[in-house]
Amino acid sequence: MAEELQGLLEKIQQDGLQKADAEKKRIIAEAEKAAKALIAKAQKEAEEIKRSAEETSAQLAKRAESAVRQAARDVVLKLSGELKARLDVVLRDNVAAAMTPEFMAGIIGDLVKTFCTDPKKALTDDLTVMVPPAQLKALEGALKSSLVDSFHQTPQLFADSNLGGGLKISFSGKDLYYDFSDTALAEIICSYIGPRLAAIVNAGN
């Protein structure tokens, strides 16, 4: 009887150990499976975070580069504008200085000779000259001293306070008008120099 009981106890113990061992293995397997799943998920999330960070970094770099390029363009445009403005001032001053009464009288004489077949009979009532107030008397004197024989009578000279230098000439009988003012001549020279100046400023950009 004792032997049978002992055998039964051993059998129960063995079955229990087997079940416990199987349960342990199951728990360990499930734990390993769960751990692998967690590791895989963590790796995937890490890769997504890395990819997102790289994309964000690339976007920021692209925006920064674009901002730098735009800032550079703005600086170049501002510099170009300032240079053109200064060039305009310099040109106006030089044109005004170059337009002496004697030089302007020569321009008037050349135009009269060009558009009047007989300058001595020219209808100078139709020839109007606008000059800066400060140069009116000097131009009158220059015309009388150098071109008196070219005109039937002295052209009409008028002071224009809006002129900083140069002159404006009109032949109303021929519908001809010439603007030799400092502003007009400076614009013509600027239109020629401007693109070349811009090319120099923009060189390398």
- Reported as a pLDDT band with limits 50, 70 and 90, residue 186 is confident
The per-residue pLDDT for 76 is 76
- In whole angstroms, what is the distance from residue 114 CA to residue 123 CA? 14
Please determine, for residue 200, whether its predicted confidence score (pLDDT) is greater than 70: no
pLDDT cut 90: percent of the chain above it: 0
Q: Quick one: average pLDDT of 141-160? A: 71
Please determine, for residue 153, whether its predicted confidence score (pLDDT) is greater than 80: no
Instruction: Tell me the whole-structure pTM to 2 decimals.
Output: 0.52
- Reported as a pLDDT band with limits 50, 70 and 90, residue 141 is confident
The per-residue pLDDT for 111 is 78
Average pLDDT over the chain reads: 77
**For residue 11, what are its two tokens?**
């059998």
Distance of CA 122 to the CA centre of its chain: 51
